Amino acid sequence: MNKIITKSYTQFNEEENFLSETLFHNANGYIGVRGSLEEGVKNGVDTMRGTYINGFYDIIPMKQAEMLCNFVDKKETMLNVADTMSISCIVDGELFDLNSGKVISHKRTLDMEKGITKRDIVWESSTGKQVEINVTRMTSFEMLSLFSIEYKVTALNFSGDIKFISTHNPDVTNYSNPKDPRLASESLKNLEVKDFYLDGKSSIAISETSVSKLRMCSLVHNSLYAEDNSLLKVEVSDIIGMQGVYTAGATVKKGGSTRLVKLSIFADSVRSKDLSGKVLGDLETILENGLDHYYKAQEKYMSDFWTNCEMEIDGDLDMNSAVSFNMYELLQSSAKDSFASIAAKGMSGEGYEGHYFWDTETFIMPFFTLTNPDLSKMLLRYRYSTLSKAKENARLLGHKNGALFPWRTITGRECSGYFVSGSAAYHINADIAYAFINYYITTSDLDFMREAGMEVLMETSRLWMDLGCYDSNGNFCLNVVTGPDEYTCMVNNNYYTNAAAKYNLNWAVKMHDILKEAGFAGEIDKKLSITEDELKSFKKAAGKMLLLYDSKLGINPQDDSFLNKPLWDLENTPKENFPLLLHYHPLHLYRYQVCKQADTVLSYFMFENEQPRDVMKRSFEYYEKITTHDSSLSTCVFSIVASRLGMKEKAYSYFGDSAKLDLMNTHNNTKHGIHTANMGGCYMAIVNGFAGLRVLEDGISLAPSLPDSWNGFRFKLVYKKKLIKVTIDKEKVTVELLEGSSQNIKIFSKEYTLTKGEKTTVKMED
C-alpha cells in the first residue's frame, strides 16, 4: 500500500498552506504540532500555528444568556502551548522566504512508513544563488516528549554563508474564528510564562494556566553540524522579549551543506511533578542516543503498527492512499497513556477545542480493538478514570443514581454549553458501555472487566433506570433525550438511544453472570453494592424497552414525534445553505423531518438483531432521502449498513465520500483539523461493511461483498491474541492464521477452523 503522501507547490497559496498545516502535522498522541512553515507567513495570512499537549487544558467561562439551575458556566479547552518550530534561514545575506526570490520547486511529504514529514525546496535568491533545503520533522513514538526538526541547507551554485536564527516562543495564544461554532470564538491567552531561563545550551520555559493552574514546560536545544558531521558553534542569547533566540552559521562551498538539529521537549503537570527535571532528563537521554536512534525506533514502531493493521486495496491507488492516511492519523491522534483520549480533531488543530466526544468509543476505538487492543484498553482506562465526575454530572442533571458521561470533555466535566444537542445526548452512556463490551468480546480480557468494565456497565445501567419509566402499556420509555442526529433534539424514545440502552442493560446482567461463573461475584457485589433485585430490574427494563415501529410505513421511526413533522425540501435548498446548522436556527431545524447524520441507521449496524432485514431496508431507504450528511460521521455508517443490506453500489458511493474526506478535503474544512471519527468509520466501512466482519459473543464471521471497481482487498485483525489475515478478491475469500492457536470462524455462515500456517479458501458468493 502507498504509505507516502506528497504535495508539490509552485508558489505560495494561503488556502493551500492552511490545509497543509493539517495534512502534514506531526503527532504521537501526547504532543501534536501543526505543519506550519518554519519561516512563518506574512502578517494577515491565515495560519493556525499550534503545538498541543493531549489532556492539557485551561478552564474558561461559558457565557449563558440566562443562567438557569446547574447550567454549564465554564468549560475546559485545549491550549496552544509554545512555538518551537520557528527557524529562519539566511542565504548569503538574504532571508529565505517563499514569497521572495524564486521557488524552483517545493514538495511536502508525509512518510507513513518512517513516521516523519519532510519539506524539500529548491530556492533561488534575488541575486541568483540557489539552495536546496531539506526539512525533516518527527514527533517520537519512543520518546513521547520529543519533537525534532532537522534543517539541512545545500549551496547548489555558489560558495557562501548560511545562517540560522532559531527561536523558542512560549508566549502564544490560541487560534480563533468567531464565524465557525466548531472553533473558539475568541483568541485565548490562558497560559502565562512563569519562568524562562537558559540551562547551558538549552532554553527552558515553564508556563501556568490561568484557572486550572496546570503547568507545562518546553525545552529547546539546537545543534549545528558541518558537512563532515562535526559540531559548529551555536550562540544562545538571553531571553529577548519572551523569546529564546539561537543563532548559528557556517560557510559552505559550492555543493556543500550544513544542517541544524532542533530538539523540542515537553512535559506537563498532569503527568509529571518535576517538569524541569523531566525535560532535562529526556534531553540527556536523547543526546546520548542521538537523533538517528529515534529515527530508527520510529521506523520500527511504524513497521509493527502496519504489521497488525495492514490493509491494501487492489485496483484503486487513490483509495489506498486515503485509507493508509486515515489509519496513520488515528495512530497519531490516540493517547498513549490513561490521562487523555482522542479529540475530535486529534492533535492536528483546535476544532472543537480539543474535546473528546462519543466519537472515540463508537467510531475510533473499534479500529484499535481489532488492531492494537492495548491502545483501546488505555482509552477505556481514561473513561473509567472519569467515572466519579460522570456521577457528579448525573446529580447536576437531577439523577439520584448512576453516572452520565459528558457530551464533550477533557477531564470528565461537561463542556457543552448547548445542552439541547449536548448534555441531552444520553446515548453517550451506552456508546461507552458498548466500547467496553466490544473490547471484552474481542479480547476475552475478563480481568479488565472485573477491574473497571463491570463498574461502568453498572453505573450506566443505573442511569437508564433513573431516567426511564414505564408507560400505560408497560413499555420502558426514555424521554427528553437527543439521539445521534443533532437536527432532531429533545425527543421521547429515540430509537437509537433505546436500542443502545437495551444492549447496555442486558450486558450489565450478562457480565455479572460471567464474573459470577468465574468466582468474582462476591467481591464485585460488595464493591458495587449489586443486588439480585437490581439486576432483575435491568433485565425487565431491557425486555420492555420501547423500540418504535410504524406499521403503515414498515419502518422504525427515529422517535415518537418524528413522522408527525413535515419533510424538509432538500432538493430545493440552495447548495450554499449546507451545512444547514450554519444557516438555519436550531428550532427551525427541529420542526422538520431532516437528519444531520445517521441515527436509526446507525442502530442497524450496532444492534442489527433487533429488527428483521426488510424493516431495516425500508428504514434505510426512508432516512436516506432526508439525511444531509452534514456530519462527517454519517456517510461511513450508511456505507456499512448498505453493504449489509446488499446495496453494493450505494455502499461504495457512501464509502468514497467518507474515505477521502480529509486527504482530498471534500468538506473544505480539513484546514481546521482532521476528522478522526470519520477515519475510524472509514476503517469500519471496509472491515465491517465490505468484508462483512462481525465480532459477536459466539465468535467471528465474514460475509464479504467486493466493490465492483476493486480487484480485491486484504486486511489483518487481532482477535483474542491471534493475528488473522483476510484476503478477498472477485473469486474467493482466503483467511490465514498468522499468529496464535487455532481459531474457528464462519465464512458465509459456514464454520471453518483456522490453523497456523494453513490457508482457508472459500468461493465468493453472489
Q: What is the CATH number of the domain that holds 386?
A: 1.50.10.10
272 and 158, same structural domain? yes
Same-domain check for residues 277 and 173: yes
Q: Which residues of 550-570 are buried (b: 16+ CB within 10 A; e: fewer)?
A: eeeeebbbbbbebeeeeebee
C-alpha closest to that of 145 among 50, 282, 248: 282
For residue 25, the model assigns a pLDDT of 98
pLDDT at 178: 62
CA angle 75, 81, 87 (to 5 degrees): 150
Tell me how far apart the alpha carbons of residues 430 and 405 are, in angstroms, rounded to a whole number. 10
Find out whether 311 and 325 touch, Cβ atoms under 8 Å. Answer: no
- Number of structural domains (the chain) is 2
Residues of the chain with pLDDT under 70: 1-2, 178-188, 238, 240-241
What pLDDT is attached to residue 298? 98
Q: Answer with the one of 227, 254, 282 that is the final residue of a domain.
A: 282
Domain that holds residue 155: 4-60+73-282
* Domain membership flag for residue 308: no
Q: Which of 282, 300, 317 corresponds to the end of one domain?
A: 282
Task: Give the global pTM.
Answer: 0.96
Query: What integer pLDDT is reported at residue 186 of this predicted model?
Result: 58
Predicted confidence at residue 84, as pLDDT, reads: 98
Whether residue 393 is found in the same domain as residue 260? no
User: How much is the pLDDT for 65?
Assistant: 80
347 found inside a domain:
no
Q: What is the pLDDT of residue 238?
A: 66
Q: What is the pLDDT of residue 10?
A: 81
Assess if residue 295 is contained within a domain. no
Pairing outcome for strands 699-702 and 743-747: parallel
Give the per-residue pLDDT at 1: 58
CATH of the domain at 197: 2.70.98.40
Alpha-carbon gap, residue 642 to 649, rounded angstroms: 9
Q: Is residue 486 annotated as part of the catalytic site, yes or no?
A: yes
- The verdict on residue 755 lying in a domain is no
Flag whether 233 is in a domain.
Answer: yes
In a domain, 349, yes or no: no
pLDDT of amino acid 176? 77
Q: What is the pLDDT of residue 80?
A: 97
Cell 433506570 belongs to 465
3-state helix, strand, coil in the chain (%, to 5): 35, 25, 40
Q: What percent of the chain has pLDDT over 90?
A: 92
Residue in 21, 350, 361, 486 annotated catalytic: 486
- Is 90 found in the same domain as 230? yes
Q: pLDDT digits over 538-547, tens only?
A: 999 999 999 9
